[in-house]
């Protein structure tokens, strides 16, 4: 039994304008790919245009039993990505099955459990960063909490010590970068926004709000 899969064998005679057998079928010849199109009521081969690298953001499609994440080609710019290397990375990290797409983007298909673990690891990375920041702040930072989507952070501080420690002012960048990745890979948010409310632990009042990315 023969199944038609829509891709015809390599044909040396295939070229733009020459007859083809089936609409939307494809074939390769002389290193080029051709698609069968209808032109002037005739089926003819037309050279396919290689898709441009996608500049779209991360897309996350949560299905019943799996999660499909596509990362745009722009994220891999300047690096040589191969299917073999992607598969090796997936086997090492347990991040599902990768596919290198024609436009340079990469699609990862993973189980719900694999996606859950990935998000857990991102959350742990943020929690570790927060704890390290608190430990290194000499008492300026007291406690940091956030919502489950990592959009809003409450930073309780010793206000006097906070105002003396300029390095603590970089907190929004460290938190913002990690939280942005979490939002993108959890829900496909491609314009992540994070706010940090700085709260005086003595009065319980917000005295400053920081944003990531910073507002103009």
Distance CA 162, CA 193 (A): 24
pLDDT, mean over the chain: 84
Residue 100 CB: number of other CB atoms within 10 A?
A: 18
pLDDT in tens, 55-99: 568 999 999 899 999 999 988 888 888 999 999 999 998 889 999
Instruction: Give, as one character, the DSSP assignment of residue 19.
Output: B
The answer, yes or no, to whether residue 11 has pLDDT greater than 60, is no
How is 59-86 classified by DSSP, letter by letter? EEEE-SSEEEEEE-GGGGTTS---HHHH
pLDDT in tens, 165-196: 776 777 888 899 999 999 999 999 888 999 99
pLDDT value at position 24? Answer: 67
The ranges assigned to domains in the chain are 1-49, 59-111, 115-212
């Amino acid at each position: 039994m023969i199944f038609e899969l829509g891709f015809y064998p390599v044909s040396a005679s295939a070229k733009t304008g020459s007859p083809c057998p089936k609409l939307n079928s494809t074939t390769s010849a002389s290193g080029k790919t051709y698609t069968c199109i209808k032109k002037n009521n005739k089926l003819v081969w037309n050279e396919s245009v290689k898709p441009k690298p996608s500049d779209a953001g991360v897309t996350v499609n949560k299905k019943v039993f799996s999660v499909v994440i596509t990362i745009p080609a722009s994220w891999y710019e300047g690096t040589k990505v191969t299917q073999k290397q992607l598969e090796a990375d997936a086997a090492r990290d347990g991040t599902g099955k990768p596919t290198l797409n024609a436009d340079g983007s990469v699609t990862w298909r993973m189980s719900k459990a694999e996606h859950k673990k990935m998000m857990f690891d991102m959350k742990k990375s943020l929690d570790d960063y927060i704890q390290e920041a608190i430990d290194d702040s000499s008492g300026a930072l007291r406690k940091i909490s956030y919502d489950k989507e990592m959009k809003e952070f409450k930073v309780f501080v010793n206000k006097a010590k906070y105002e003396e420690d300029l390095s603590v002012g970089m907190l929004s960048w460290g938190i913002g970068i990690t939280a942005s990745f979490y939002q993108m890979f959890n829900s496909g948010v491609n314009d992540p926004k994070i706010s940090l409310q700085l709260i005086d632990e003595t009065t319980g009042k917000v005295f400053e709000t920081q944003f990531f990315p910073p507002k103009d």
